[in-house]
Structure formats: structure tokens, C-alpha cells
Amino acid sequence: MDFLDFSAYDFETWQTFLKDKWLIIAIALLVLIFIIRLVKTVVKWLLVAVIVIGLILYSGYSLDDVKQLGTNVTTTLKQEAVELMVAGAKDAVYEVNKDGSFIVKTKLLELKGKAGEKQVTVSLRGIEIGKLDIDDTIKKFIEQAKNSS
């Protein structure tokens, strides 16, 4: 019964699943409400169990697939961010805040971090896509932004 272990799924996985399957879930809930109000026997609870189990098994794809899709999208966005760093390095603006943190901005990309840390927070087109480890490409991007500012 491993398919009933939902502890490994995060909020975004559930949210995507609910957005994709909201109509099926709404219909199932309406049928359940109808059965609960109409049928007054043990058969009612058997029908409810069958519908709930059917809904869990139906999904068309598993929650693992939804989680993998989210991972793929995040990976693609991070790759796009690195490509934008390379392309927009000459127009990047470097700003240092009083607390020692820095921001590197281009038209589409923004990096936030602190000196000495191993990761930066990346925003692409105004949407935060996560943290990236500072590798050679990111170091060169930051250095080029420092030099051009």
C-alpha cells in the first residue's frame, strides 16, 4: 500500500495535482454528498470508500509524476537563468547593501546573496526560482557586474 503514503509530497505537488484534477474531485465530492444524504445504510459507506479509492487510483498520472514535472520546470528555469547571465553580463548592475549583501540586476534576472556564502537567490523575470550554487559562471557574472558598475 505504498501508493497511499503521501508524506513525501510537498505543498506545490498537491497544489499542481488539485489544479489539474479539480473537476474530477468536484464531481466525486458531489456524488459523495448525494450518497451520504440519500443512502442511510452500511452500503453508503462502501460506496463512499469505493469512490474515494477510485479517485485516488484514477488521477491519470501519479503524484510522483507531478513532483518530477515540477523538478523539471525548476531545472529548466535555472538553466535559462544561467544562459541569461552569460548573455546579459555586460548590462548587469552590481549593488552592495549596508548589511554586506549584494544584488546583481539585469533586465530579466536578479541575483541576491552575501559575500562569502556559497549560494545566491535567483529571480527570473521577477519570480524567485530558487538558489543556485556559486560556480565559475556565476562568479564571472558577478565580477563582470562589479567591474561595469
The CATH fold assigned to 74-148 is Copper Amine Oxidase; Chain A, domain 1 (3.30.457)
Per-residue pLDDT of the chain in tens (149 residues, 90 and over written 9) = 455 566 666 677 777 777 888 888 888 888 877 777 776 676 667 777 777 777 766 665 566 666 666 666 667 767 777 777 767 667 778 888 888 888 888 887 888 988 888 888 888 777 787 787 888 877 887 888 787 76
pLDDT of residue 11: 72
Domain boundaries, the chain: 2-68, 74-148
Q: What is the mean pLDDT of the chain?
A: 75
**Helix 22-38 / helix 42-58 crossing angle, nearest 10 deg:** 170
Number of H helices and number of E strands within the chain?
Answer: 5, 5
Confidence (pLDDT) at 7: 64
Encode pLDDT of 23-40 as tens digits. Answer: 888 888 888 777 777 766
- The answer to whether 24 touches 58, Cβ cutoff 8 Å, is yes
pLDDT at residue 19, rounded to an integer:
82
Residue 124 CA to residue 81 CA, distance in Å, equals: 7
